[in-house]
Amino acid sequence: MAVSHADGDEKLKKNMGRNMMGATMTGKVALVTGAGISIGRATALAFGSQGASVVVADVNASAGKETVQLIERLGSKALFISCDVSKAEDVKAMIEKTLATFGRLDYACNNAGIHGPTPEALLPELDEVLWKKIIDVNLNGVMLCMKYEVPAMLKQGSGVIVNMASTTGITCEPRAYAYTASKHGVVGLTKVAAVAYAKAGIRVNSVCPGPIETPMTASINEEGLREAMSLIPMGRWGKPEEVAGAVMWLCSDIAGFVTGTAILVDGGLTAI
């Protein structure tokens, strides 16, 4: 029987309502790197609140295990894995343990990242050791995670990867050379992977937070805080949970036609 456009529209509306209001991630497995604090923890908790089993990865064992406890209080399963994403052997072991424990990997949020001092030195005096460290964690770390996440998702024929970039990956942070370069790299790497695996059932996107209330930004002095706040049209910094919301939307079925994009969560910062 032929289905009219009206019938199709009505079916779409019903599916959207179910995905938005009643869908859960029960039976699914999510991995979040850098999940011990702030955005990573908020994202891990968001997955747990939707019924997913969550792998909490971090270099900080005490913070990571605390996140696990919070997820378990929500009634979901969680596993802590110590992982330095800049080390291939750590990342490989993380994915192997995830699969050995839960048997699959449905969602991966590659969130782990670091920031150097701001402002950094002038370019001729740039610290090459610091440059390498930031690139190794922020960019190489995302590459390594995807390198080992993708095969697991290919095997099951589906998966969603969300890489944590930054508004700095779209514009720049003056005199933050390594951080800006690393986040531009994440946005570009995301696009390449999205195109490569679009027909394989794997969606890959990035989220670009603006100023968010995190330990990383807490070190900014009062003058810098006021200056940053004045640049945001919404007049405030974002919350980790608001970034987690963007990750959850990208991982949901309702975002099923979204891949290769960079979602800005910045209070309008880049709109002006």
| pLDDT one-digit tens code per residue, 55-97 | 999 999 999 999 999 999 999 999 999 999 999 999 999 999 9
Question: How far apart are alpha carbons 111 and 185 in whole angstroms?
Answer: 14
pLDDT at 15 over 70: no
Which residue type is seen at 115?
H
pLDDT at 131 over 70: yes
**pLDDT value at residue 256:** 97
Establish whether 177 is a catalytic residue. no
Which residues on adjacent β-strands are paired with residue 205? 162
Question: How far apart are alpha carbons 154 and 99 in whole angstroms?
Answer: 13
Domain boundaries, the chain: 27-264
Cα 34–chain centre separation:
9
Are the C-beta atoms of 83 and 60 separated by less than 8 Å?
no
Name the H helices within the chain.
Answer: 5-17, 38-49, 61-73, 88-102, 128-135, 141-156, 177-197, 215-218, 222-230, 240-251
Q: Does domain 27-264 have CATH number 3.40.50.620?
A: no
Of 148, 177, 179, 197, the catalytic one is 179
Global model pTM greater than 0.85: yes
Q: Which of 170-184, 203-217, 246-260 has the lowest mean pLDDT?
A: 203-217
